[in-house]
A and B are shown apart, each in its own frame.
Chain A
C-alpha cells in the first residue's frame, strides 16, 4: 500500500491548489530584457545539476531522472557542521541515525538513501568517484555489513552545492550506483573569502560544539582560482543512558549518546586555464578525526577487581585519517568536442585504540590502554572522458581504470590475546590481511534532444574486475513535454555493486579458553574463503545485481511553482550480508566447528534478494510578495517499502534466516517521511523554519523487531545581516526537544525503557534532543 490515507488527502489538496494556481500565476513576461545590470545581477537562475547525464548541466525540472540540489546557502543555514547531517536535514528518504554503543560505527556514521545500504550509494566529488571508509559496519547500526563513504570528511565551507540523483545509474558511473548518486561540487571561481564560527549546546546542557571555518579564495590573473577551506570542530559527548540495574545503586554509568570528538578538515580546489584551451585542475581533501565513545560498563568481578575495584567503562578511541586527491586537465580539441583526463587517489585509515580497559586473561598485569590495530582502504582511479555534440545529439564516452587496496593490521598482543581488551578486542595476526584488485571499464552515453521537448538518453557500461569477473549494464531514459507545463519522464536500467574488499577480506576473531572443553578455541567473523566458512557453505562473493524502473512527472505551470512525482522500483539480487552466528545448532555444523576448533562463526555471503518500491512527491514554491521579501517553500513526501524476493538458506541448514531477513526488511529507520522546508527573507532578516515528520520505525533486538512512534521535528534558523560583511544567526535543530519513544515489550539489562539503552539508536533524528546554536560569519 503505497498511498496511505493521509497522503491521498494531501495529494488531492495539492492538485486543487495547483489547478487554482494556473489561474493566478504571474505571466512570464520579458521584463528581464529591460532591467538594469544591477537588477540582473540580483536575479537567481534555475537550479541545474550535472549528475545523471554526461552531456552537461541540466535544469532539474527538465531531467529524465529525479535530481535534487542542496545549495551552499542551504548548507550554511542548516546550522550543521557535517555533510551527513545536512543531507538528513534536507533530503526526505536520506536517513542517518546517530548510533551509540556500536563500536566503530559510532564514529563513521552509516547512511541510507531510499532505504538502501550505504555501499549502494555512489558518492562523487566534482564528478569523480570517492573512496569508501575502511570501516566495515559489523555491529547493530543500519548498514550492517557495508562500508560506505564517510561524508563527514569534507569541510562544508568548500562545497558549492550537492546534487542527489535518486535513480540507479551504474550504467553511467559503475559499481554502487544502485540507490542513487551523490555528487559533491566544490566551490569554483568568483566566491568571496569568509571566516565563520558557530557553537551550541544541547537542551540538557551537554554536547557542546565549537566550530570554526574559513574559506579563502586566491583569484588567479584570468579565469583561474585557488580555493582553500579549513575547519576545526570540537564536539563534547551527550549522555542519554538509562540506569544500570546491575549496580547496587542503579545509576547511568555507560555512555549512550554522541561521541566526544575532534574533527579537522582542509580542502583545496584549483583550476588554472591555459591559453591552449586546456585547463589543469586539482583538488585535495584532508580530514583528521579523533573520537571517543564507550562500550558497556564492566561491573566489578573477580577478573577485574585487581585493576578496577569499582568496575570500569571501556572507551573506544579510533583515530581516522582520510584524504582524497584529484589531479587532471580538461579542454577542447575542436568545435563541440571536449575531453577530461584525471587521476584520483583516495585513502581512509581507521585505527582503533581502546582506553580505560583491561584484558582479563592478563589479570593485574594487564595494560589499561591498547593499540587494537585497524584497517586502511586506498583507491586509485584514472578516468578519460570525452564528449561531442552533433546538433541535437550529445555523445559521451570514456574509460576508467581503478586499483583498490585493503589492509587490516593487527593490534598489540595484549589487545587480542585470549578474549582481548574489554570493550573491543584487537585484530589478531590471524585477521591481518592485505587484498587488492583492479578494474577496467568502458562506457558510452548518448543523449538526443528533439526540438519539440522530448529527450532520449541511453547509456552502456562494461566493467571487468580482476577478482569476481565482469558486469555489463544499460540504462534507457526518456522525457517528453506535454504542453509547456508538464513533463513526463521514465527510466529503466540495470546495475551492480562489486563486493567490497572489506567484505571479501575482513576478519575479526579471538582465541580463548573454552571452559567446557579446556581447549583454546577461536570465534568471530571469518573470511568467506576461510576453510571453516567454506565447510559451512560459504562461496566466493559475487556482485549484487540490480534492476531499476522509474516513472515520474514534473508539473511546472510557471517559474514560481513546481511539483515532482516520481515512482521507483528497485530489485537487488544476491545481496551481500553478514551471516548470523553459527555456533553448532545442528549436529553437522557442530562437527564442522569441532573439526576446526572453532566456537562460533559468521561470514559474508550473497544470500538475499529483495525488491523495493516507493514514491517521492515534491512541491516547490517561490514567492516574492514585494521587492524586499522572498519566501521559498518545499514540501516533500517520501515513501518506500521493501520485501524479500529470494533467500538462499540451503547451504546453512535452514537456521540462518531470522536476523538477516529482519535486517533487510526493518534495517532502515523509517519508510515514510514528510518534510516542509521554508525560507523567508525580508530585508536583512533571513529565516528558515523546517518540519520533518518521520513515520514509526523498528529496531531488531535478537530476532524481534520492536516498534517506535512517529516523530515530528522542528528546526529554526534566524539570520540577521548586520552589514555587507557581517552576519549573525541563532537557531536550533529539533527545537522542541523531541526524543524517540522508549522501548516497549523488552526490558533487560541493556535494552528497555529503564535500561542502559532506553530508546532506539535507529531514531531518524538522533537520540540527543534539542541543539541550540549561535553562528557568526564575516566576509573578508
Chain B
C-alpha cells in the first residue's frame, strides 16, 4: 500500500516539474550578477560611464562573464521592445568584463574584482585602485578590514555584503543609498 502512495507521489512530482522555474543558482553566476548590479549604485568614477567595465584580476568564474554580457545585450534588445520582466531592472547599463594580470591595466575601469588568490598583494592593489576611483569588490575574508569597498559573502545560501563606505569616500566614490540600504553592515569610521 505504501508503495502505491510513493508511486502516486512520483507521478505528481513529474507533473509539478512542468511548472517549475529556477530553484537554485550557481554561486559564481550570482556573484557576477551581483557585481553587475553594484555598478548601478556607484557614482564618482570619471571613466567612461556609457559602458561599465568590470575587471577581473584573475578569473575564477570561467565563461560566466561572457554569458552575463550576452544576457545583458539580450535584455537591452528586449528593453528596446518594451518587454521587461517583472523582476528585471530597467536601468541596466551595458557591461564589459576585462581580464587583467597587472596593475598597469587599471585604466578605464569602474569595478575591480579581486579574488582570494590575490590576497598577498591586496594592500598594493587597493592603493593602486584608490587613485583611479575604482570600486573594489571581493569575496575574501578580511577584505573590508584591508580597505576593500564591497565584500560579498554567503549566509544560508543567500548573498549578502558589507560596504566600506569610508574606503569608497577616500577614493572619491559615492555609493547610492539604495545599495547601502541592502548592506548587512556599513563601515563609516576612520581606519
Residues of chain A touching chain B, judged by Cβ–Cβ distance below 8 Å, are: 6, 9-10, 13-14, 17, 20-21, 24-26, 28-48, 71-73, 160, 188-191, 219, 221-224, 271, 273-275, 277, 279, 332-336, 389, 558-561, 621-625, 630-631, 633, 635, 674, 676, 693, 712
Contacts and interface: CB of A to CB of B under 8 A. Distances in A.
Contacts of B119: 277, 332, 335
B33 A32 contact: yes
Interface string B3-19: 10011011101101111
A273 B14 contact: no
Interface stretch (B42-50, B87-95, B102-110, B129-137): B87-95
A630 to B, nearest CB: 8
A219 B187 CA distance: 11
A37 B155 contact: no
A624 B117 CA distance: 36
A40 B22 contact: no
Given A21-B14, A47-B157, A48-B27, A335 B179 contact: no
A336 B140 CA distance: 12
A24 B7 contact: no
Nearest to A17: B14
A25 B2 CA distance: 28
A38 B182 contact: yes
Contact of B2 (A48, A389, A712): A712
Contacts of B70: 30
A369 to B, nearest CB: 48
B67 A37 contact: no
B142 A273 contact: yes
B177 to A, nearest CB: 13
Nearest to A190: B155
Contacts of A630: 23
A624 B3 contact: no
Contact of A35 (B9, B18, B87, B123): B87
A28 B67 CA distance: 12
A561 B18 CA distance: 12
The 4 closest A-B pairs by CB, nearest first: A622-B23, A273-B142, A30-B71, A222-B145
Contact of B151 (A71, A223, A271, A274): A223
B45 to A, nearest CB: 18
A36 B87 contact: yes
A273 B74 CA distance: 41
Given A32-B25, A37-B179, A273-B145, A336 B117 contact: yes
Given A33-B71, A35-B87, A219-B185, A45 B141 contact: no
B117 A34 contact: no
Nearest to B184: A190
B108 to A, nearest CB: 22
B117 A335 contact: yes
Nearest to A621: B13
A623 B20 contact: yes
Nearest to A712: B2
Given A34-B89, A223-B142, A277-B142, A45 B25 contact: yes
Interface in B152-188: 153-160, 162, 164, 178-179, 182, 184-185, 187
B1 to A, nearest CB: 10
B36 A41 contact: no
B19 A625 contact: yes
Contacts of B38: 37
Given A32-B25, A45-B26, A45-B27, A624 B20 contact: yes
Interface in B17-60: 17-27, 29-30, 32-34, 36-38, 40-41
Nearest to B8: A13
B21 A30 contact: no
A483 B138 CA distance: 32
A559 B3 contact: no
A558 B29 CA distance: 15
B120 interface: yes
Given A46-B24, A621-B17, 17 more contacts: A17-B11, A20-B14, A30-B70, A36-B87, A40-B34, A41-B159, A44-B25, A44-B158, A45-B30, A45-B154, A71-B156, A72-B156, A73-B156, A222-B144, A389-B117, A623-B16, A676-B9
Given A9-B3, A72-B156, A623 B17 contact: yes
A623 B2 contact: no
Contacts of A560: 17, 20, 22-23
B140 to A, nearest CB: 9
Contact of B85 (A31, A45, A332): A31
A335 B71 contact: no
22 contacts: A9-B3, A10-B7, A24-B14, A26-B21, A33-B75, A35-B33, A41-B158, A41-B159, A45-B24, A46-B25, A47-B24, A191-B155, A219-B185, A222-B142, A279-B141, A279-B142, A333-B120, A559-B22, A559-B26, A560-B20, A624-B23, A625-B19
B98 interface: no
Scoring B67, B142, B154, B155 by chain A CB atoms within 10 A of each residue's CB, the highest score goes to B142
A693 B5 CA distance: 12
Contacts of B187: 221-222
A48 B143 CA distance: 22
Given A190-B184, A221-B189, A335-B120, A625 B37 contact: no
Contacts of A25: 17, 20
Contacts of B14: 17, 20-21, 24
A20 B17 CA distance: 10
Nearest to B18: A24
Given A10-B6, A36-B87, A30 B162 contact: no
Contact of A46 (B3, B27, B71, B184): B27
Contacts of A190: 153, 155, 160, 184
B146 interface: yes
B157 A37 contact: no
Contacts of B37: 35-37, 40
Contacts of A389: 117
A45 B157 CA distance: 5
B23 A189 contact: no
Contacts of B74: 30
A211 to B, nearest CB: 22
A20 B11 CA distance: 10
Contacts of A160: 156
Interface in B108-128: 116-123
Given A17-B11, A45-B26, A72-B156, A40 B19 contact: no
Contacts of A32: 22, 25, 29-30, 33, 71
Given A221-B187, A332-B120, A33 B23 contact: no
A580 to B, nearest CB: 39
A45 B6 contact: no
Contacts of B19: 623, 625
Contact of A273 (B2, B36, B141): B141
Contacts of A273: 141-142, 145
A33 B117 contact: no
Contacts of A558: 20
Contacts of A41: 158-160, 182
A676 B36 CA distance: 39
A34 B157 contact: no
A334 to B, nearest CB: 5
